[in-house]
Chains A and B, each alone.
Chain A
Amino acid sequence: MMADLAKFEEFASTLEMIDDDEMRFEYIIDLGKRHSEEDPLPEEWKIDANLMHGCMSRVWIVDEVDEEGRHHFRGSSDAIIVNGLVAMMTEAFSGLTGQELQNLTIDQVRRLNLGALTTQRQVGMMAMLKHMQTLGRGNGRAHKGENNGASGSTPS
C-alpha cells in the first residue's frame, strides 16, 4: 500500500502556491503560532528523553505507534519559526509505518521550505527527518515523564 502523504502534499502545495519567500516565511511563523495554540505538547513531555539534540533552539519530538504499526508524531519547539517547521514535519509524516518513514527522502523535505529558510534551518529540517526515521525504527514507546531522571527515582 502506498504511504498516505496527503498532509505532506497539502503543506508542499500551499508553499508552492505562495510565490514570495517573505510570505512563505510568514506562513511558517503562523504555523508555529497555531501549533502552540491548537496542539501544545504537554509540559511533562518536554523532557530530555524527547529532546532532539543538535538544535540551537530546543525541539522535543514524541513518537507513538498505533496498533497498525503506524507512527504518530507530536512535537514542539521554544522558538516559533522552528515550531512551525516541527508542526509541518510531524503532521506531514505522521501515520506512516516504520518502513514508509525510512523511504522518505531529503527531496521531499526540500519541498517543505522552498527557499524561505536559511541553509542552517534547512539542515535542521534534514536532521529532523533523520531523527524521525530513527524514532521510526523503534517501538515508539513515548517518553511522557515517567522515565524522567529528574523525577528523583533511581532504578533498582
Chain B
Amino acid sequence: VLDYATGLLQETGNVRIFGTVPGKAAIISFLVDGIHPYDLAAVLDRAGVAVRVGQHCAEPLMMRLGVDGTVRASFACYSSKADVDAFVAAVRKATAMLS
C-alpha cells in the first residue's frame, strides 16, 4: 500500500515526498509545491481523509529541511488500495482548489 501510494503521489507531479529510504515505516510525509501544509490538510479533512499536519514534534528537522511543516499520511494493515485512491484523489482536488 505504501509503494502504491508513493507511486501515485509521484505521478501527480509537484509533490515533494520527505523520506524515501527502503524499508521505512508506512508513512508518507509530503508537500505540494506552493501550497501551505495546513491548507492542504484542511481540504483533505473535508474530503474525509485524516492526515497529520505540522512539524510532527520535529522542529529542528523541519528547520533543516527548510519547511514550515509537512502533511503526513499513515497507512496500517487495514488500509486498502481504495483508501489510497481516495487519498490521492483528495490531494489532486485540494491542489486544484488551492492553486
Asked whether A118 lies within 8 Å of B45 as measured between CB atoms, the reply is: yes
Q: Are A80 and B54 also in contact (CB < 8 A) when A56-B38, A118-B42 are?
A: no
- A14 CA to B39 CA in the complex, in Å? 22
Using a CB-CB cutoff of 8 Å, which residues 47-62 of chain B contact chain A? Answer: 54
Question: Which of A22, A25, A29, A57 is the one whose CB lies under 8 Å from B38?
Answer: A57
- The reply to whether B97 and A78 form a contact with Cβ atoms under 8 Å apart is no
Q: Which of A22, A57, A58, A82 contacts B46 (CB 8 A)?
A: A22
Q: Is the interface of B mostly helix, strand, loop or mixed?
A: helix
With an 8 Å Cβ cutoff, the count of chain B residues facing the other chain is 11
Q: Which residue of B has the minimal Cβ distance to A56?
A: B38
* A82 to chain B: closest residue by CB: B38
Chain A's closest residue to B47 (CB) is: A22
Contact B36 A79 (CB under 8 A): yes
Instruction: Judge whether B98 is part of the interface by a CB distance below 8 angstroms.
Output: yes
Whether B36 lies near A25 (C-beta < 8 A) is no
Interface residues of B in 2-59 (CB under 8 A from A): 35-36, 38-39, 42, 45-46, 54
B contacts, CB < 8 Å to A? 35-36, 38-39, 42, 45-46, 54, 68, 97-98
List the 9 closest A-B pairs by CB distance, nearest first. A79-B36, A79-B38, A79-B39, A80-B39, A57-B38, A81-B39, A81-B42, A80-B98, A56-B38
